[in-house]
Structure 1
Amino acid sequence: MLKPTPTDTTSPYESPHSRKLHDAAERALDHYLCPGATHDDPRLPSLMFVIAPNIKTEDLLAHACESMASASVMLSDFAAALDTPYRHTLLGIQQVVMLGELAVNRALDNLEAPA
């Protein structure tokens, strides 16, 4: 015995909003499945906090290192004021920041000294 096939003739584009939903779904699928695909509205990065293009790599790394060191100290101080479960989480975050600081320091060490 064969199972009857549904003969629903409802179109996904019957209402005006269904086309918008379909387009949004297509954009979402394209974003994740075709990351190199071109889009109608390319997103431009915000220019609010632009770093000057002529800044030397050594200066950028030094600033990043100082910022990470400050973040590490702030996280450590804040962790001291918290109870155990939250303290452990914050100290874990502090350790990740500290490891990033060490990596940036090594990158600074690896740069050639200016002649």
Structure 2
Amino acid sequence: MKKPTPNPPENQSNLETDPTSPYTSINSKKLHEAAERALDHYLCPGAHIMGSVNEPAPMYLANPAYNTESLLANACESLGSASEMLNNFAAALDPAHRKTALGIAQILMLSELAVNQALDHVELKG
């Protein structure tokens, strides 16, 4: 037995009545275009190069222009911070794991001292 199917309204196109179409209105067209741009941005990162507001400091890039003193001073500060964080973290650990964390903190402290001593030997180029 055949069922009669109703004809679609004459004034609307198939895209406007299709519930799966992303083009049901002008706003959804804009949303669909924005979604396509977002997918292109994340799936093809080299295609759209956009400037970032939060650009990293040039020191953390492979920049040969930075002098040895600046690099050593930054390394010394980073090692000191890491050592302090690890000491604070070790205080919260159980005794079995605390010794391991304190051993790592001691290695960081010795590295900080070595970098600090190297920083003392750096001669500034005027």
Question: What are the within-5 Å matches in structure 2 for residues 2-81 of structure 1?
Answer: 50-81=61-92
The total of aligned residue pairs comes to 67
When the two chains are superposed, the root-mean-square deviation of aligned CA atoms in Å is: 1.3
The residue correspondences of 1:90-105 to structure 2 (distance < 5 A) are: 90-105=101-116
Q: Percent of aligned positions with the same letter in both sequences?
A: 57
Corresponding position: 1:86 with 2:97: yes
Q: Which has the higher contact order (CA 8 A, sep 6+)?
A: 1
State the TM-score, normalized to the length of structure 1. Answer: 0.55
Q: TM-score, normalised by structure 2?
A: 0.50
Give the Cα separation in 1 of the matches to 2:124 and 2:71: 15
Q: Mind listing any 5+ residue stretches in structure 1 that lack a counterpart? A: 1-48
Distance of 2:70 and 2:124 partners within structure 1: 13
Structure 1 moving runs of 4+ over 2 Å: none
- Pick the structure with greater CA Rg: 2
Flag structure 2 segments of 5+ consecutive residues without an equivalent. Answer: 1-59
